[in-house]
């Protein structure tokens, strides 16, 4: 069953259940790789939101799906999230960095990591079972069928929790962040599964921080600022790169070149000083060099969460802060969520 995942659009707050016809059902928002899993006999395929199948990267999940769902007369198709948990018992949390390391070209590396950092799968929708395509059914019916199908599901496979209580959903938004979760999803109870459409609502954590502009990359078009590199000062007084901000309009990209020109670092001949940027497995040979800036300009950005000492996602530009001194932009301004055991969320 080749099907594109149903998507979600962002809203600022957890909506009331009666804000959508037929009501809303709420779930935790898992921070992992979206996956639509098809188990057909002993065949297992883990499709992704993009074009790249995930099957080869998670052999331990393939074995689990085959063990728990294989051998049925008809295919089972599940929608869910591939996650990876780390931490000591009682203090487990999602680990995005370890999960992203699982996408590797070498089969030997994949096999090694499948043992050292095994992944898990959290199911939150059932798209086909018992010879039926269930996508036309309302979500409440699909959820009921999911629970009926998976009463004895076992680690590393899980079924996400759900609630009709908006107050509890708002509590989850705060509490579950301590386990590394990404927010809350609100799903229309009466709607069918709509592949590729943003029919669900997602509520993520948004915070602001004052950061230092330490460089910029030229836009891929060769004109204007493509992204700003950001820094924060640690307790040792060192300025560390923490991420970047991009998604500027064409007009804004060009204007930024002039705004940043006074703080561009230049060599003895007056040419801008450039440095090689950090590379990752996602760089794909792209030019990561950037124009260095004197650490003088402060800007306020909006972010959702941190991954170690870096912003988890690309952040959003809010405004310049000419009133702030760059050296006052420190890590200790960042809000740290209260720790929460991931196992308590999964169970």
Q: In the prediction, which pLDDT does 67 show?
A: 94
Each residue's pLDDT tens digit in the chain (347 positions)? 678 899 998 888 999 999 999 999 999 999 889 999 999 999 999 998 765 789 999 999 999 999 999 889 999 999 999 999 999 988 899 998 899 889 988 999 999 999 999 999 999 999 999 999 999 999 999 999 999 998 878 999 999 999 999 999 999 999 998 898 989 999 999 999 999 898 999 998 777 888 999 999 999 888 899 999 999 999 899 999 999 998 789 899 999 999 999 999 999 999 999 887 554 443 444 566 899 999 999 998 988 888 778 888 778 998 888 777 898 898 888 877 778 899 999 87
| Per-domain boundaries in the chain | 7-205, 207-333
Active site residue 29: yes
- Mutual orientation of helices 107-116 and 59-69 as an angle, nearest 10°? 70
Express each pLDDT in 286-344 by its tens digit.
Answer: 566 899 999 999 998 988 888 778 888 778 998 888 777 898 898 888 877 778 899 99
Q: In the prediction, which pLDDT does 150 show?
A: 84
Q: In the prediction, which pLDDT does 222 show?
A: 86
Q: Exactly one of 9, 29, 187, 204 is catalytic; name it.
A: 29
**C-alpha to C-alpha distance for 196 and 264, rounded to whole angstroms:** 43
Inter-CA distances, 139 with 22, 189, 261, Å: 10, 5, 54
CATH superfamily of 7-205: DNA ligase/mRNA capping enzyme (3.30.470.30)
**CATH number of this structure's domain 207-333:** 2.40.50.140
**C-alpha to C-alpha distance for 17 and 23, rounded to whole angstroms:** 5
Q: In the prediction, which pLDDT does 288 show?
A: 67
Q: In the prediction, which pLDDT does 213 show?
A: 96
In terms of Cα–Cα distance, which of 112, 114, 105 is closest to 61?
Answer: 114
Q: In the prediction, which pLDDT does 324 show?
A: 79
Which residues have CB under 8 Å from 136's CB, separation 6+?
Answer: 192, 193
Is 0.95 surpassed by the pTM of this model? no
CB–CB of 14/20 below 8 Å? Answer: no
């Amino acid at each position: 069953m080749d099907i594109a995942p149903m998507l979600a659009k962002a809203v600022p707050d957890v909506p009331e259940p009666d804000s959508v016809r037929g009501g809303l059902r709420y779930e935790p928002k898992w921070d992992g790789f979206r996956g639509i899993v098809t188990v057909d006999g002993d065949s297992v395929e883990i499709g992704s939101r993009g074009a790249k199948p995930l099957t080869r990267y998670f052999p331990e999940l393939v074995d689990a799906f085959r063990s728990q769902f294989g051998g049925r007369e008809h295919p089972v198709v599940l929608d869910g999230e591939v996650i990876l948990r780390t931490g000591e018992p009682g203090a487990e949390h999602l680990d995005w960095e370890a999960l992203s390391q699982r996408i590797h070209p070498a089969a030997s590396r994949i096999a090694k990591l499948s043992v050292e950092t095994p992944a898990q799968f959290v199911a939150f929708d059932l798209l086909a079972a018992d010879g039926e395509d269930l996508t036309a059914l309302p979500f409440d019916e699909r959820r009921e069928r999911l629970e009926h199908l998976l009463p004895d599901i076992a680690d590393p496979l899980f079924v996400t929790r759900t609630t009709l209580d908006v107050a509890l959903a708002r509590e989850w938004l705060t509490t579950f962040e301590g386990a590394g979760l990404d927010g809350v999803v609100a799903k229309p109870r009466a709607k069918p599964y709509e592949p590729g459409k943003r029919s669900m609502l997602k509520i993520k954590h948004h915070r602001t921080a004052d950061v230092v502009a330490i460089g910029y990359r030229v836009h891929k078009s060769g004109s204007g600022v493509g992204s700003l590199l950001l820094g924060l000062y640690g307790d040792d007084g060192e300025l560390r790169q923490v991420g970047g901000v991009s998604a500027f309009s064409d007009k804004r990209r060009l204007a930024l070149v002039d705004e940043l020109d006074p703080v561009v670092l230049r060599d003895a001949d007056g040419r801008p000083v450039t440095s090689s940027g950090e590379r990752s497995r996602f760089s794909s040979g792209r030019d990561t060099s950037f124009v260095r800036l004197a650490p003088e300009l402060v800007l306020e950005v909006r972010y959702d969460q941190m991954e170690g000492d870096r912003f988890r996602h690309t952040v959003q530009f809010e405004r310049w802060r000419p009133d702030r001194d760059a050296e006052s932009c420190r890590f200790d301004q960042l809000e740290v969520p209260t720790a929460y055991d991931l196992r308590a969320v999964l169970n």
